[in-house]
Structure 1
Amino acid sequence: MNSFSHTFTVKASDLDEQGHVNNVTYLQWVQEVAVAHWLEVSSKEIRDKYTWVVTRHEIDYKRQAFEGDEIKARTWVGSRTKVTWDRHTQIRRGEQLLTEARTVWCLIDRLNRRPTRISSAIEGLLS
């Protein structure tokens, strides 16, 4: 499994009125770590030809995070279809699991803006 991690420090702007990280912020982090992973493994040529769009998010909130916490988001790909791929993400503070998510991403051809088959070359980048 080819996983990718990114570390975030919780800022005041990440908090909701209850003083903990807003649920929408977790979702933003899920997307940010996925995009960072794609940028890490893909070439400019591939990114100029293809992009990914989200078709579904499932997210489970386990624990709260607070301003100043250092958290790590780790992502990896799971099962796939011809044009979509499940991406899993865990967000932790130390060993504590804060959030886990499954996102379905669809590969899009930038030229015609339509879903396109995930090639073995792209599979090799993420597997």
Structure 2
Amino acid sequence: MSDASTTTEMLIEVMPRDLNSAGLIDTAAYLRWVQAVVIRHWERFASKAAQDSTLWSAVKHVVSHEAAGRHEDHLVAHTRIKKLKGVRALFITTVTSGEKLLAEIESTWVCLDSSTKLPKALDPEVVRNFL
């Protein structure tokens, strides 16, 4: 796990809609949680001006399931930026239940200008806040 100063944590309450027909946490739930914790991470480190002028769009998720998650699990998602270059950022998010790793998700996001909706590189000052 990364240094707490560059990692964002989010507690997760597993809801019935998060389960598949076998009663296990569905992949779609992990993706919703990744979306939420990555945006929380952005909001934690970016200035209000950067938040107002920038949008993020996920373009790729790779989910590695390590253990089955269930409704009664107490989950925590942790995310951090592994790589930030140009208009792209690679986030690594883990979802754990206690000491048990349930899933690791690598997700690639593209930074967009909130007005034009076109890709844009982040300001160097914003990048320094993330790394």
Assess same fold via TM > 0.5. Answer: yes
Name segments (4+ residues, structure 1) moved above 6 Å: none
TM-score by length of 2: 0.91
Deviation at 1:107, TM superposition (A): 0.8
Counterparts in 2 of 1:80-95, with a 5 A limit?
A: 80-95=84-99
Unaligned runs of 5+ in 1: none
Counterpart of 2:70? 66
Percent of pairs identical after alignment? 24
Secondary structure, aligned partner of 2:81: strand
> Is the contact made by 2:93 and 2:105 (CA closer than 8 Å) also made in structure 1?
yes
Deviation, structure 1 residue 68: 2.3
TM-score of the pair, normalised by structure 1: 0.93
CA distance in 2, matches of 1:23, 1:66: 12
Which of residues 18, 24, 29 in structure 2 aligns to 1:25?
Answer: 29
- Match in the other structure for 2:127: 123
Gaps of 5+ in 2: none
Structure 2 residue matching 1:69: 3-state secondary structure: coil
Task: Give the letter for the 2:18 counterpart.
Answer: D
Do 1:84 and 1:118's aligned partners in 2 also have CA atoms closer than 8 Å?
A: no
Quote the Cα distance in structure 2 between the aligned partners of 1:17 and 1:87. Answer: 29
Q: How many residues align?
A: 127
